[in-house]
Amino acid sequence: MSAPRINWGWWAMTGVLGALMVFTLFPFYWALVSSFTPDAALFRDPSLWPREIILDHYRALFDERDFFTPIRNSLIVAGTTTLFCLTVGTLAAYALARLEFRGKAAIMAFILAVTMFPQISIVSPLYLLLRSLRLIDTYPGLIMPYMTFAMPLTVWVLTGSIRQIPRDLEEAAHVDGATRRQSFTRILLPLAVPSLATTGILTFIYCWNEFLFALSFTLGPERQTVPVAIALFRGQYQVPWGQILAAAVIATAPVAAMVLLFQRRIVQGLTAGAVKG
Amino acid sequence: MRSEARLGWMLVAPALGVIALIAIFPLGWTFWESLHLHELRMPWLGKPFVGAGNYVEIAKDPRFWSALGHTAFFTFVSISLELLIGLFLALAMNRAFRGRGFVRAAVLVPWAIPTVVAALLWRFIFESQGGIANELLVNVGILDQPIVWFIRTWTAWIPVILADVWKTTPFVALLLLAGLQNIDLTLYEAAAVDGANPWWQLRHITLPLLKPAILVTLIFRTLDGFRVFDLIYVLTGGGPGTTTEPVALYTFNALLQNLRFGYGSALSVVIFSVTFGIALLYVKGLGVKLAGDER
Amino acid sequence: MARIALEHVEKVYPNGYVAARDLSLDVADGELLVLVGPSGSGKSTILRLMAGLEPVTGGVIRIGERDVTDLPPQQRDIAMVFQNYALYPHMTVRENLGFGLTIRKQPVVVVDQRVRTVAASLGLDALLDRKPAQLSGGQRQRVALGRAIVREPLAFLFDEPLSNLDAQLRVETRVELSRLHRKLGATMVYVTHDQSEALTLGDRIAVLNEGVLQQIATPMQLYHQPANKFVAGFIGSPAMNFLEGVIRREGPSNVRTFRGIDLALDVPLDREAPGRVFLGVRPQHLEVVGETATGDGTLRGEVGVVEPMGNEQIVYVTLSGGDRLVAVAPPQQQVAPGDTVAIRVRLEGAHIFDAETGARL
């Protein structure tokens, strides 16, 4: 909307925006406060301000429940998938963004279509496949299925990003005598580093958050990832909300930090893939 | 140049290969399975070919149709809310103001956390005994007494939809924001000079020019809505009973709980077809240019 | 330095669009050839074909004596200055200048020395360690130029290098380029859509329209002896006036009339039958006289707009028949909008073009 500012409009907008901010941040705040509240007090007359702060839940997470393991598992799976997809995906994205060959449109359509796959549709065959390869409850047993969404996502976003780098520069490099490989490594790659980082972050986030495959293809706490571990927290008599919330806070904190630091990048990456068509 | 084509295919091959192996091959398998009777709990039945048998059963399965209805309801309500709020957010974030970066980041965090964590947060908020939602509503006077949210279907939907809107509106807002930023500012200036007020500008400049972005958002969100799993698994488990069960959860239960692989596969194929059909419809409507057009 | 030859070159895109058709062109060693034409005329495409950035669909390209038609740009030993300069944003000016040499594994000492020499000659010494984003438009242009010079290529290709500069800078840089050409004695191919740029810079000019070469000649030849109506109308500012009409033969002699003007033709028309033609007259050859003037070769009309240019006035006249003419009048002449005037046509500089083919007769 343009310049003429009607005062009441501005106030209304700010008011609604404020309300939305509260709505957005409240669950985190509440989880944080509750994670410091002893079990007994959790549902008894809850108050918006913390009455007491204890660290029992956090301690229990690591001492009694070994929360380190799921974190380690998530890191390994998400990290490996991301690295692999970035490497292979960059090559494919370069080809799709810079080279002319027949079938390019079909490939792009295909990749787009795969991102639309409902995961549930391939859970059972993947399960049977992994079982026959004895990969159930292993790292490769998660990394491989994760490629189904990580690879198309990576290629799609990277292709969009590379397209935004002007061709002029590589053409100038070619005229100056650089071979295709030289122009790729010396000109394109350095300029594509921000996009690579962004795509990497996006892919990592998607892998970290994945639930269905992790749930289906792991059997026990040794290989479960963070989302699965949290969802399956069982208490002796009741749902251990204190610990669940503590785990939620821990699961959220690094993500929140990444988002705060890289929000501009993330936004660019998301929209480079999506809106450009 | 022919060598360019060769290089192109070589570079794309690894990625394509992985995708084909991990996505297409299992899909074919699922389709094949769906044509058989395959009850892992009753191995003595073997694995006979039943053709369309599973599909016929699906068509007669009331639980399936309910699940489809739940999915459609959920998708429709969520998307409507998300579009409205998302549009508002996008418009607000389009002008520079102090703290805009913070708003953008804050709004992104729900999107970035695992869905299960989001679901747990909201489950906690809506716990019937001493959950903060009940506390606040009773204190403010909207409710006489706390509601047991997850005991009745229509009250169970509320936290589900709320959680989904909370989590995905940021994504919608971002897509719309990108579309907004592509609109030439001078159009608004010209309209202002011609005497148009902000409402008119919204209706006649912003919304029409935002249509492509809105359509893209609709595609992605509709597809996501139809595939919903994590959220409901953790929030309601499909309950009470099976009254909030979406198709993906139903399929999951059929496959990995009841171990009805043939039937579950048929369900999978149906879900896939529906989502693919929706995607096709939208893409045709958009006429998305897929290979780029830069020369 | 080398000559560049295009022999029957053709470029057709997969969607059927023809960018160049049976194009043959020769750039002599050390010559500055300008490719000029309106947007879409194919001039940039031809430049890119020379550079090897796009493959030809037919014909041969030679640089020097080598057939480079199938060679990629890396191996053609030419340098190109792009419209948007295409400076590598993540490299310093020094690295940008030296890129072509570094890529070819030239020893660092050699690279460094050449970079410094060229930078000095272009006034870039102080900027060597800056990045392109920190430079002004004019400075970037010079870096783009320097990058090409450092390579000491067989030929230079320029793709509308001045179009991103403001008017004054454009004129200054134009002079610099001319000087550079003379100093280096290099073979240069220069693309522009600005005909005045073409006239001032080129040893020879090739005029293109819709992928077809219209005429290739020296500036003066183009101006005084345009091959067809397009060239005549494109070259020269203000543009040539065209009057459409029929040439009739009056009587047995060589006299023809054109819309009431008697023409004494020094070039005999072959065709006897009257043909529809365009009479082309440059504004400089139209005299604005008072309305009382009569006589052969006068046309009547009303003045629309007068643009005072300092050393002359540009007068826009609408004739009684509806045609519009542009004339040039000396600065002291009293002409004002609304005046009724007569226009005298000085026929020495006039041309006749066939109405259909556009060729000059």
Start-to-end Cα distance in chain B: 15
Q: SS3 of C341, please?
A: strand
Q: For B223, name the nearest residue in chain A, comparing CA atoms only.
A: A116
CB burial class (10 A; 0-12, 13-18, 19+) of residue C81? buried
Whether C99 sits inside 8 A of A176 (CB atoms) is: yes
Residues of A in contact with B12 (CB under 8 A): 91-92, 95-96, 107
Whether A179 sits inside 8 A of C74 (CB atoms) is: yes
The predicted model gives B18-24 an average pLDDT of 83
Question: In this structure, which amino acid lies at residue A206?
Answer: Y
pLDDT digits (tens, 9 = 90+) for B65-93: 999 999 999 999 999 999 999 998 888 88
pLDDT score recorded for residue A79: 94
Say how far apart CA B174 and CA B221 lie, in whole Å.
Answer: 13
Question: In this structure, which amino acid lies at residue A14?
Answer: T
pLDDT score recorded for residue C257: 60
Whether B5 sits inside 8 A of A258 (CB atoms) is: no
Q: CB-CB: which of A171, A177, A190 is closest to C103?
A: A177
C-alpha distance from A188 to closest chain C C-alpha (Å):
10
Residues of A in contact with C100 (CB under 8 A): 176-177
pLDDT score recorded for residue B291: 37
Across all residues in chain B, what is the average pLDDT?
83
Which chains sit next to B, with 3 or more Cβ pairs under 8 A?
A
pLDDT score recorded for residue A150: 92
Range 218-277 of B in CB contact (< 8 A) with A: 220, 223, 226-227, 229-230, 233-234, 248, 251-252, 255-256, 261, 264-265, 268-269, 271-272, 275-276
Whether B229 sits inside 8 A of A120 (CB atoms) is: yes
pLDDT score recorded for residue B289: 44
Residue A211, both tokens: 């639930």
Higher pLDDT, C326 or C258: C326
pLDDT band at A91 (very low <50, low <70, confident <90, very high): very high
pLDDT score recorded for residue B295: 31
The predicted model gives A133-140 an average pLDDT of 90
Across all residues in chain C, what is the average pLDDT?
83
Residue A189's nearest CA partner among A173, A206, A208, A209 is A173
Out of A34-38, A157-161, B5-9, C345-349, pick the least confident.
Answer: C345-349
C-alpha distance from A271 to closest chain B C-alpha (Å):
6
Between CA B15 and CA B22, with CA B21 as vertex, the angle to 5 degrees is: 90
Out of A11-15, B108-112, C139-143, C146-150, pick the least confident.
Answer: A11-15
Question: In this structure, which amino acid lies at residue B112?
Answer: A
Q: Is the pLDDT confidence value at C280 over 60?
A: yes
Instruction: List helix spans (H) across C125-207.
Output: 137-150, 167-184, 195-201
- B254 and B263 Cβ atoms separated by less than 8 Å: yes
Whether C104 sits inside 8 A of A177 (CB atoms) is: yes
Range 167-226 of A in CB contact (< 8 A) with B: 167, 180, 205, 208-212, 216, 226
The predicted model gives B122-127 an average pLDDT of 87
Beta-carbon pairs below 8 A across chains A and B: 299
Say how far apart CA B260 and CA B266 lie, in whole Å.
Answer: 10
Q: C97-102: which pairs have CB atoms within 8 A and are 24 or more residues apart?
A: C97/C124, C97/C128, C97/C143, C97/C146, C97/C147, C97/C150, C98/C150, C99/A173, C99/A176, C99/A178, C99/C147, C100/A176, C100/A177, C100/C147, C100/C150, C100/C151, C101/C150, C101/C151
Start-to-end Cα distance in chain C: 39
Say how far apart CA C296 and CA C238 lie, in whole Å.
Answer: 25
Residue C12, both tokens: 């057709």
Higher pLDDT, B81 or B129: B81
pLDDT score recorded for residue A76: 94
CB burial class (10 A; 0-12, 13-18, 19+) of residue B7? middle
Q: Does C72 touch chain A (CB under 8 A)?
A: yes
Residues of A in contact with B178 (CB under 8 A): 267, 271, 274-275
Name the helix (H) or strand (E) containing A257: helix A241-274
ipTM over 0.85: no
Question: In this structure, which amino acid lies at residue B260?
Answer: R
Q: Does B126 touch chain A (CB under 8 A)?
A: no
pLDDT score recorded for residue C360: 62
C-alpha distance from A237 to closest chain B C-alpha (Å):
16
pLDDT score recorded for residue C262: 57
Residue B167, strand partner residues: none
pLDDT score recorded for residue B72: 92
Neighbours of C166 (CB within 10 A): 10
- C102 and C151 Cβ atoms separated by less than 8 Å: no
pLDDT digits (tens, 9 = 90+) for B216-268: 888 888 888 888 998 998 888 887 888 889 988 998 888 878 888 888 888 88
3-state helix, strand, coil in chain C (%, to 5): 30, 35, 40
Starting at the earlier edge strand, list the strands of the sheet with C340-345.
Answer: C286-290, C340-345, C298-308, C313-319, C324-329
The predicted model gives B13-42 an average pLDDT of 84
Q: Is the pLDDT confidence value at A5 over 60?
A: no
Cα–Cα distance list, B180 to A82, B111, B288 (Å): 31, 20, 18
Q: Does C147 touch chain A (CB under 8 A)?
A: yes
For B97, phi then psi, to 5°, come to -145, 165
Say how far apart CA A92 and CA A151 lie, in whole Å.
Answer: 10
Higher pLDDT, A62 or C205: C205
Q: What percent of chain C has pLDDT over 70?
A: 87
pLDDT band at C358 (very low <50, low <70, confident <90, very high): low
Query: Looking up tokens 């597809």, which residue turns up?
Result: B223
The predicted model gives C315-338 an average pLDDT of 83
Question: In this structure, which amino acid lies at residue C91?
Answer: M
Residue C354, strand partner residues: C277
Q: For A187, name the nearest residue in chain C, comparing CA atoms only.
A: C88
Say how far apart CA B252 and CA B58 lie, in whole Å.
Answer: 15
pLDDT digits (tens, 9 = 90+) for B136-189: 787 787 777 777 888 888 888 989 999 999 999 988 888 888 888 888 888 888
Question: In this structure, which amino acid lies at residue B210?
Answer: L
C-alpha distance from B20 to closest chain A C-alpha (Å):
9
Cα–Cα distance list, C63 to B33, C2, C82, C202 (Å): 64, 6, 20, 20
pLDDT band at B46 (very low <50, low <70, confident <90, very high): confident
Residues of A in contact with C13 (CB under 8 A): none
Q: CB-CB: which of A92, A227, A267 is closest to B104?
A: A267
Whether B290 sits inside 8 A of A108 (CB atoms) is: yes
Mutation target to probe the A interface, by most A beta carbons within 10 A, among B94, B98, B120, B226 is B120
Give the distance, in angstroms, between the CA of residue A274 and the centroid of all CA atoms in the same chain. Answer: 16
Sign of the Cα pseudo-torsion (B124, B127, B131, B132, in order): positive
Say how far apart CA B161 and CA B156 lie, in whole Å.
Answer: 9
Between CA A236 and CA A241, with CA A239 as vertex, the angle to 5 degrees is: 125
pLDDT score recorded for residue C218: 92
pLDDT band at C291 (very low <50, low <70, confident <90, very high): low
The predicted model gives A187-208 an average pLDDT of 89
Residues of B in contact with A31 (CB under 8 A): 121, 124
Say how far apart CA C245 and CA C236 lie, in whole Å.
Answer: 23
pLDDT score recorded for residue B294: 32
Q: SS3 of A30, please?
A: helix
The DSSP symbol for B49 reads: B
Q: Is the pLDDT confidence value at A165 over 80?
A: yes
The predicted model gives A166-175 an average pLDDT of 90
pLDDT score recorded for residue C157: 93
pLDDT band at A277 (very low <50, low <70, confident <90, very high): very low
pLDDT band at C271 (very low <50, low <70, confident <90, very high): low
The predicted model gives A81-93 an average pLDDT of 93
Q: Does A125 touch chain B (CB under 8 A)?
A: yes
- C79 and C118 Cβ atoms separated by less than 8 Å: no
pLDDT band at C214 (very low <50, low <70, confident <90, very high): confident
Q: SS3 of A190, please?
A: helix
pLDDT digits (tens, 9 = 90+) for C35-55: 999 888 888 899 999 998 888
